[in-house]
Amino acid sequence: MEVKNDTQISEFLLLGFSEEPELQPFLFGLFLSMYLITVCGNLLIILAVSSDSHLRTPMYFFLANLSFVDICFTSTTVPKMLVNIQTQRKAITYDSCIMQMYFFLLFGGLDNFLLTVMAYDRLMAICHPLHYTVTMSYRICSLLLLVSWIMSVLHSLLQTLMVLRLSFCTDMEISHFFCELNQMIQLACSDNFLNNMVMYLAALLLGAAPLAGVIYSYSKIVSSIRRISSAQGKYKAFSTCASHLSVVSIFYCTSLGVYLSSAAPQSSHTSGVASVMYAVVTPMLNPFIYSLRNRDIKGALNVFFRKKS
């Protein structure tokens, strides 16, 4: 007897972090503050890059796009979580859950690819400075950005279509604050073997491969910096990629923590906390990491606000 697919009339319950009523105002204030800081900080990065002609370089071109993606990435999950906390409702409709999962995968994949492209940009700038203007021309940068978008759209579309083929019966509780792909696959009452295979294969190809590219790029960068004779030259070369390396470390460490913890039993709380790190905290920290260590960004913002005042 076939299992009836009731997904069109079902709702999922996002359990979030805590059901204790006294903690809800604290959680609402905490995540609202983090979301506002994320949006304002990344908008300032975009504003600085777009307003200063001296920042029309490949590094800042990708940084502005990363800031835009971070705003969208956070906006796919946090507003819904804030509404649920404020209204004391945990429900999310099936269609909304599918849309949230699609855009989360889309912008999460873009974050992944952009960090890899930015590592390649630093590799060319430090290891091949004489050919940098040719290898990282505006046309090449636009092409790398377009490929990143295409790969992310195709991946998120594939995973979403794979979830649409699943049937969901009675267990509708998602132990997360958003519709996470792995959680939804495990909730299905139909055969999910193919979904698991596609998910792990995609994680291997689209997760491990970019990470390997980042590691390779920085191994070449470190090797090139070590050959610089002067200490001032080494510091200048390293300072150009220190901010990016910090963001990469936070993003990949927390992302790996989520998927490694999801394989262990009784790991929903740990996975949820790790998801907050790479889905909320990392986009919030990016503007601070890049602006505090970057004189060009601070200078561009100072000039912009002086003009406005």
**pLDDT tens column, 115-128:** 999 999 999 998 88
- Kindly indicate the confidence band of residue 5, based on its pLDDT and cuts at 50, 70 and 90: very low
Exposed/middle/buried for residue 283 (C-beta within 10 Å: 0-12, 13-18, 19+): buried
- The order of strands in the sheet holding 91-93 is 91-93, 11-14, 173-174
- Kindly indicate the confidence band of residue 232, based on its pLDDT and cuts at 50, 70 and 90: confident
Of 52 and 36, the structure prediction assigns the larger pLDDT to 36
Q: Is residue 106 part of a domain?
A: yes
CATH code where residue 110 lies: 1.20.1070.10
Q: Is residue 60 part of a domain?
A: yes
Q: Is residue 257 part of a domain?
A: yes
pLDDT, residue 140, reads 95
pLDDT, residue 208, reads 87
Q: Is residue 2 part of a domain?
A: no
pLDDT, residue 6, reads 46
pLDDT, residue 266, reads 46
Exposed/middle/buried for residue 150 (C-beta within 10 Å: 0-12, 13-18, 19+): exposed
pLDDT, residue 260, reads 62
Of 231 and 192, the structure prediction assigns the larger pLDDT to 192
Q: Which of 96, 12, 106, 97 is nearest to 68 (CA)?
A: 106
pLDDT, residue 176, reads 83
- Kindly indicate the confidence band of residue 69, based on its pLDDT and cuts at 50, 70 and 90: very high
Q: Is residue 304 part of a domain?
A: yes
Q: Which domain holds residue 283?
A: 7-308
Based on the structure, what is the number of domains in the chain?
Answer: 1
Q: Is residue 51 part of a domain?
A: yes
77-84 mean pLDDT: 93
pLDDT, residue 2, reads 43
Entry field: residues in the chain: 309
- Would the pLDDT of 38 be above 60? yes
Q: How many angstroms separate the CA atoms of 188 and 172, rounded? A: 9
Residues 6+ apart with CB under 8 A from 89: none
244-259 mean pLDDT: 78
Q: Is residue 78 part of a domain?
A: yes
Exposed/middle/buried for residue 168 (C-beta within 10 Å: 0-12, 13-18, 19+): buried
- Would the pLDDT of 283 be above 50? yes
Q: Is residue 245 part of a domain?
A: yes
pLDDT, residue 245, reads 84
